Amino acid sequence: MSSNPRTFRTPVRLIVSVEAATVAAVDDLMAGGSHHRHRNRSEFVRLAIERELARCRGDDFRAR
């Protein structure tokens, strides 16, 4: 998995819908002075997806 979104060889746009409260929570987290600061929402979501995939693989997730 890529750690830099600018180096994707075959980028694909993914559109997701989430609750407004979730977006507000992400925005609050990004605006805070904590170490969880991200550049934008899409980077936050991309990293969350990659973390979830890694976690699922640890639970015998079978990648296709």
CB 45 within 8 A of CB 16: yes
Percent of the chain scoring above 70 in pLDDT: 72
Rounded alpha-carbon distances, angstroms, from residue 46 to 17, 21? 14, 19
**Strands annotated E in 1-64:** none
Q: Say which residue the tokens 């600018």 belong to.
A: 6
pLDDT at 47 over 80: yes
- Predicted TM-score (pTM) of the model is 0.66
Q: Which residue has the higher pLDDT, 37 or 50?
A: 50
Contact 3, 10 (CB under 8 A): no
